[in-house]
């Protein structure tokens, strides 16, 4: 049973834990996914489907309500936080429309290496798959438009032997490219704590002594409710493993 933040007759909001993949694919055989959960929870009598691995955006996935099992968008496996699930085709289409028109406000929290400066800014560089490593994304010529606004919440030092400056950052992606926040922060020179793909081999190895997942959390979301037509907002608190890391940091005054 996945944690449920909110439910009504139109939609379901799940607080996804880290370590669970959202959609079934060729690589998730034998693993329980969010899609499997929604099929059972919403009592969908569907033939299990598999989504392609090549999709490069959480807003450009299949528009088929049944193929997606109602899941409107997605999060990386190691990212925790809010996911929206629609209970009908009409609600699904309306919410996907809001994502495409950039009317959904998404807020993430990340712990980044280094002292992120300036404290408020935006990152507007194209993101695409790396030609030499299809598993990773990066800032590449010909990549897709990608825009992330951010603000630094606070600076800290780690309590381990590194005594490194780290930044708690709130991020608002206006586009939905795969790995967008992770790539954008790495591009600025501030990779996310414990990011096994983008923080560097030595750094992530040291990070993972303290945290065995990427420090990225989908903390809040706001959108127009497809049924009530009123703007609604929801928040998901930091999971225990991320709060534990925060509790070990030393605030910089």
CATH label of the domain that carries residue 225: 3.30.2350.10
| Predicted confidence pLDDT, tens digits, the chain (253 residues) | 899 999 999 999 999 999 999 988 777 777 889 999 999 888 764 444 444 444 444 444 456 788 888 999 999 999 999 999 999 999 999 999 999 999 999 999 999 999 999 999 999 999 999 988 878 899 998 899 999 999 999 999 998 888 999 999 999 999 999 999 999 999 999 999 999 999 999 999 999 999 999 999 999 999 999 999 999 999 999 999 999 999 999 999 6
* Residue 174 structural domain: 4-251
Residue 157 to residue 172: CA distance in whole angstroms = 24
Provide the β-strand partners of residue 172. 149
Instruction: Out of 58, 76, 195, 207, pick the active-site residue.
Output: 76
pLDDT, position 222: 98
pLDDT, position 24: 84
Residue 222 to residue 234: CA distance in whole angstroms = 6
Cα dihedral 164→246→189→121 (10° resolution): -130
Q: Is 76 part of the annotated catalytic residue set?
A: yes
pLDDT, position 205: 95
pLDDT, position 56: 44
Q: Which long-range contacts (CB under 8 A, 24 or more apart) does 46-50 make?
A: 48/24, 49/24, 50/24, 50/25, 50/26
By C-alpha distance, which of 246, 194, 172, 180 is closest to 18?
A: 194
pLDDT, position 44: 64
Q: For the chain, how many structural domains are there in total?
A: 1
pLDDT, position 101: 92
pLDDT, position 49: 46
């Amino acid at each position: 049973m996945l944690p449920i933040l909110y439910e009504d007759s139109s939609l379901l909001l799940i607080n996804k834990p880290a370590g669970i993949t959202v959609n079934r694919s060729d690589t998730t055989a034998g693993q329980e996914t969010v899609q499997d959960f929604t099929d059972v929870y919403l009592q969908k009598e569907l033939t299990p489907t598999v989504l392609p691995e090549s999709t490069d955006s959480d807003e450009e996935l299949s528009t088929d309500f049944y193929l997606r099992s109602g899941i409107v968008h997605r999060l990386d496996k190691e990212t925790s936080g809010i996911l929206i699930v629609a209970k009908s085709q009409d609600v699904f289409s309306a919410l996907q429309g809001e994502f495409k028109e950039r009317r959904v406000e998404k807020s993430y929290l990340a712990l980044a290496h280094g002292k992120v400066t300036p404290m408020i800014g935006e990152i507007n560089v194209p993101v695409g798959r790396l030609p030499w490593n299809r598993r990773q994304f990066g800032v590449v010529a010909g990549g897709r438009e990608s825009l992330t606004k951010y603000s630094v919440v606070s600076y800290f030092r780690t309590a381990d032997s590194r005594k490194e400056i780290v930044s708690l950052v709130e991020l608002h992606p206006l586009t939905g490219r795969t790995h967008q926040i992770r790539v954008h922060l790495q591009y600025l020179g501030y990779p996310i704590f414990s990011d096994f793909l983008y923080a560097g081999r030595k750094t992530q190895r040291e990070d993972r002594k303290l945290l065995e997942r990427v420090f990225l959390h989908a903390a809040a979301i706001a959108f127009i409710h497809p049924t009530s037509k009123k703007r609604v907002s929801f928040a998901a608190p930091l999971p225990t493993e991320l709060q534990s890391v925060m509790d070990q940091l030393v605030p910089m005054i």
